Structure 1
């Protein structure tokens, strides 16, 4: 009789390399083929106490450093010192004293890495605790302090499996707070040493400064950074084939602008475009490629950022994929609404589009003419496009932006067609279009410039003609882009941050034409779809928004000192 009972599953830790479970957990280095870390099933209920225990050990490490410094600042017990000098020469005792000071300062600084679960910090803190226990004993037979340091070392060793990160950002808010605490401890030690030892404080203070600078050098040179490298030409070609096979989104074409990195999933059938800024890796839009790979890819990207103590942030993600970010444990903040104009049935006839029809007719009455230029472009065409672009920049920000916005760069613009409206033989406005990647969802543009001397209605004419182009190519929508803060915080139950953003939308139009941009796009009677920022719940939202703004503008100075 045939036995139909299935074989028992393998015990944890006994899977063969060929088993599916073992293969799914096999890590790989770098952004390509990165594998998600997995915790044993029994470890999941203990995640919260583990986080608390790591923070407790970090505080104990800081306290161990403080104990070493306080013990070194105060004179030793006379009886113990007399007994010690019978067995050790004075230079050895003084050397142990100075080394205990250096170890104490180093432990103050290393507490940040312990709190961040950094493997390198653990490997350095454990021998320093043991050495500190030895030094404090040799300098004055201070067995109480030595026992405390040995206890902290034992607790730290028990948590050794939790130190799975490679590094942490040096200039994050948390790093600055820990650094301030370490400097405060060093200052208190210097004051105590001067008060209790008079003029004999210089050598201990020099040892403390050497220990602090040594840890700074270790953090600067030894903590690894994420392995980031700009995509090579063959990688961009592979990304182009991937997008053509599965379709793109509104940010598919800007992937080829050259200012972002690519993160590939384990199977290589999906990717995320992103850029680093301060303590975050900021992804642009939703993933690209095979939609079935998106959930795992988002988790892999989060895990990749977390290994280096960085925030994983997704900028301008769409409503249709919000579940990906919710399931990955990210919080959501509404940035605004994107306008998508249905191509089928669009007409200028009727009362609803009366204002738009008047603007278009006025531009045509001024002799405006629409053309769709295909690359490569003649030198005379480039001169005209550059003239309009420079004039537009001079009247606004004075510099190119990036990340989510296209730049006026010849190599990038020649990847796709350019829609142009000319008046009397001179370009009045133009917009660059994305390549045809096989999808027929929405036609999008990422660079639009208007000449200051263009007659009224030119921009409306350009977009109406683009609606015709989208219809001829079989697209369902024309994507007009995002109206920032539109539809944000409109009711009293909205989150506090979004209600504050609503105030900026209503009363901050002297800084940015929030309502004017919304009214302009509303002329085309679009469908409005929300776009969101997905971010770690504990990350400070104002700081993340400032980081993204600096990423787009090209630096914090351009954001904070922006000309009106």
Structure 2
């Protein structure tokens, strides 16, 4: 009873919130419109079969004309955006404005008040130094305003003329009244806003963001010529809409009427403006069918015209919107989509062979091709389907040879589907897959392993001979009792080839367990043969580059001349590889895991132009050798170099930089650090500096601290952006320790060379597991004071991963949420909090990559190259 009472009280409390919630009423109204559509169809008993028959009779010429006008509609929508930006003095490529319309039009179907709310989406691709977010919103507002005005320009005269002629029915009259009231309200609100009257005050109170935007519009100097051009383009769009309705009548061979086309289109636009969700889907179809019926078309004819019109004016535009997400060849969807299509094509191939053919089609094919061709086509489609399922795995990896084989097999599948039973549906699906493969051909660059290729060729030849020999001998010497057939040598060979290449066992009937086992053994041998050959031919080859001692010396020399980074020391660390530009005046420091080459920060070069040339050369080298390239910990100020080359970036964290001239242990912010130093000093802990060369005895003590620290943390040494404990390296580095009078080391760090004048950099910082609390605080505080006394101006404390991510898009928002809320990422947050104790400034660092699909591969590769030994 308590639970029921609690639920009842919650329901009573929720009811007032629902009644005052705009989205609740919008959803309710949308459900009412959809229910009205269902009721209308049932009430009028529209025969869907009749409508389909009518649509199938549509005249091809008018369908092509309608499709051509759809292209004109898209171009004019892009022109509207283009002119809206030009009105603000900004120039955006028309290709970008067309894509902007297509994507916003697609998402508008899913949004409340989609025609307007969609204007807030997909602005990032066109934002630049010259066009900021405010400009995008202003231009979008001008675009929306022109769209509303064009409807009024077309609708008011058309409805007014029809009203005077007495041709308007009650729904259209109500629509006309609504439009007049809407126009009057818009004009009154605009005048009031410009005079800062009631509309101005209401908007600032209820929607301050929109009010600010409108203030910007009124203050921004607008090019009226461009605004008139945008309005003209919008009027052209309305004329295309009317023409689409008129063409739909002609295409279905019904009496075409311009008044019906105008009135029907205007009523549709009124419903579109008033519709809260789904862009009037359902309600528009019902209303337009009713209007056309009032103009003399039978219900079935009116419904057929309406559906064809909606195909032109709605569905084709939505389909183009879906396609707009696949335009960019670096799109994640476009990288995965062909693989999915290939996998589905394999399944379709297999199911097509298993399923019975359409009798009429099969009979037609049998009159053209002999039985052997039809049988071979079935076998070809089946085998191709099985291989395509395997190829999908290698295609996802990016294998070039897998792509070539996929193109060949899909092409053969198209032919096979047509010759086995004119299965044009399957052939069209395979053709679509083929087009997607050809369009994305540049994404498949990985070479196959030469050793496995040679082995596969040997297996291809000798394995085939052995399997065929096994089958032929088996059939030839097989007793008649097993199959009921006395196999000759010729029949044995033909039967083995049929079983092996087409999995077709027609004509043989195993009569004994041994015969069943023999057939199964042939299938097993064939499958094993096929899998091994494909594995060897398609397995990607990841060549491991290497550098000579002379190249290592050259890299060190160039780093000394041109290096301006706190990571300079690690760019020539023993674990790194070097790629040099042809003139040997710049190099990229990188590591490779499988087919991913990760460069450490920027190339080392004399200037920005040389850096840019080095990036281009390194990318070409990676492409030629089957690698994908990524750049790790790129400074924010250098991002324009990469974006100018078409690359993308993702924030990975922030580096903490401590200002040494202002650093001291005084003040309230340093209270905890000051107490730690005082407490440990009182307990006998001292700070010591050891200059190189470091003695062997001290290195042994440091190694013991390092080993215990790694064991306590439960992890192995990491490299790439940091060093590992190597006595041969540490012997040449200054070592700073916290120890006691007995010279027992409790914590230490080593100082490494810095490529930035005035900046100190330290690397390994480790402590004993049983060291007292605050030992690292004391070590760092004393280290910073030591650097300050040495004349350094800054010290780099390293990266705080995932820190400072703004959450500008969905991936960033996801990572930021994980960083802020998930326990698994708590140590990253704790690292940021610990470094905050020293009052640093923060500098953002980025991962630079080529396309979105790489975000699935680069993090794994980064983890692997960091784990690799020196």
Above 0.5 in TM-score? yes
CA positional deviation for 1:479: 0.7
- Alignment check: 8 A CA contact 1:166 1:224 kept: no
Q: Secondary structure at the match of 1:235?
A: helix
With over 3 angstroms needed to count, the CA separation of the structure-2 counterparts of 1:213 and 1:363, relative to structure 1, is farther
Counterparts of 2:394 and 2:777 in 1: how far apart (Å)?
55
CA positional deviation for 1:379: 2.5
Counterparts of 1:50 and 1:453 in 2: how far apart (Å)?
55
1:120 has 2:401 as partner: yes
With over 3 angstroms needed to count, the CA separation of the structure-2 counterparts of 1:124 and 1:468, relative to structure 1, is same
| Bigger proportion of residues as strand | 1
Q: Taking structure 1 as the reference length, what is the TM-score of the superposition?
A: 0.66
Q: Map residues 118-517 of structure 1 onto 2, 5 A cutoff.
A: 119-121=400-402, 123-125=404-406, 128=409, 159=438, 162-163=441-442, 165-167=444-446, 210=526, 214=530, 217-277=533-593, 280-292=596-608, 293-302=610-619, 304-305=621-622, 312-424=629-741, 425-435=743-753, 439-471=756-788, 474-489=791-806, 494-508=808-822, 512-517=826-831
- Alignment check: 8 A CA contact 2:407 2:437 kept: no
Alpha-carbon displacement from aligned partner over 1:229-282 (angstroms, at most 9, x marks no partner)? 244433322211111011242322223443343333444333333334466433
Equivalent position to 1:106, from 383, 387, 396: 387
Alpha-carbon displacement from aligned partner over 1:432-475 (angstroms, at most 9, x marks no partner)? 221365x4142212211112343454423432343355346654
- Structure 1 stretch 50-59 or stretch 540-549: which is displaced more? 50-59
| Bigger proportion of residues as helix | 2
Counterparts of 1:499 and 1:63 in 2: how far apart (Å)?
33
Q: Secondary structure at the match of 1:288?
A: coil
With over 3 angstroms needed to count, the CA separation of the structure-2 counterparts of 1:157 and 1:387, relative to structure 1, is closer
- Alignment check: 8 A CA contact 2:593 2:865 kept: yes
Counterparts of 1:163 and 1:398 in 2: how far apart (Å)?
40
- Alignment check: 8 A CA contact 1:105 1:211 kept: no
Alpha-carbon displacement from aligned partner over 1:115-171 (angstroms, at most 9, x marks no partner)? 88854345445655677789889xx876878x969x96997799599557432899x
- What CA RMSD, in Å, does the superposition of the two structures yield over aligned residues? 5.1
- Alignment check: 8 A CA contact 1:167 1:223 kept: no
Counterparts of 2:831 and 2:651 in 1: how far apart (Å)?
17
Counterparts of 1:56 and 1:337 in 2: how far apart (Å)?
35
Counterparts of 1:494 and 1:158 in 2: how far apart (Å)?
32
Q: Secondary structure at the match of 2:716?
A: coil
CA positional deviation for 1:426: 1.0
Counterparts of 1:272 and 1:391 in 2: how far apart (Å)?
35
* Equivalent in the alignment of 1:36: none
Q: Taking structure 2 as the reference length, what is the TM-score of the superposition?
A: 0.45
Counterparts of 2:420 and 2:813 in 1: how far apart (Å)?
61
- Alignment check: 8 A CA contact 1:230 1:260 kept: no
Q: Secondary structure at the match of 1:283?
A: strand
With over 3 angstroms needed to count, the CA separation of the structure-2 counterparts of 1:106 and 1:368, relative to structure 1, is same
Counterparts of 2:810 and 2:411 in 1: how far apart (Å)?
49
Q: Map residues 535-550 of structure 1 onto 2, 5 A cutoff.
A: 535-536=849-850, 538-539=852-853, 541=855, 544-545=858-859, 548-549=862-863
Which 5+ residue runs of structure 1 have no aligned equivalent?
1-46, 171-192, 556-564
Q: Map residues 18-57 of structure 1 onto 2, 5 A cutoff.
A: 48=327
- Structure 1 stretch 203-212 or stretch 507-516: which is displaced more? 203-212
Counterparts of 1:100 and 1:508 in 2: how far apart (Å)?
49
Q: Secondary structure at the match of 1:228?
A: coil
Q: Secondary structure at the match of 1:395?
A: helix
Question: In terms of Rg, which structure is larger?
Answer: 2
Equivalent position to 2:836, from 502, 509, 522: 522
- Alignment check: 8 A CA contact 1:337 1:484 kept: yes
Counterparts of 1:97 and 1:510 in 2: how far apart (Å)?
53
Which 5+ residue runs of structure 2 have no aligned equivalent?
1-325, 450-502, 511-515
With over 3 angstroms needed to count, the CA separation of the structure-2 counterparts of 1:372 and 1:255, relative to structure 1, is farther
CA positional deviation for 1:338: 1.4
* Equivalent in the alignment of 1:40: none
- Alignment check: 8 A CA contact 2:802 2:816 kept: yes
Counterparts of 1:49 and 1:348 in 2: how far apart (Å)?
54
- Alignment check: 8 A CA contact 2:568 2:754 kept: no
Q: Map residues 65-104 of structure 1 onto 2, 5 A cutoff.
A: 69=350, 73=354, 101-104=382-385
Q: Secondary structure at the match of 2:852?
A: coil
**Bigger relative contact order, structure 1 or 2 (CA pairs below 8 A, ≥6 apart):** 1
CA positional deviation for 1:488: 3.3
- Structure 1 stretch 529-538 or stretch 238-247: which is displaced more? 529-538
CA positional deviation for 1:527: 1.7
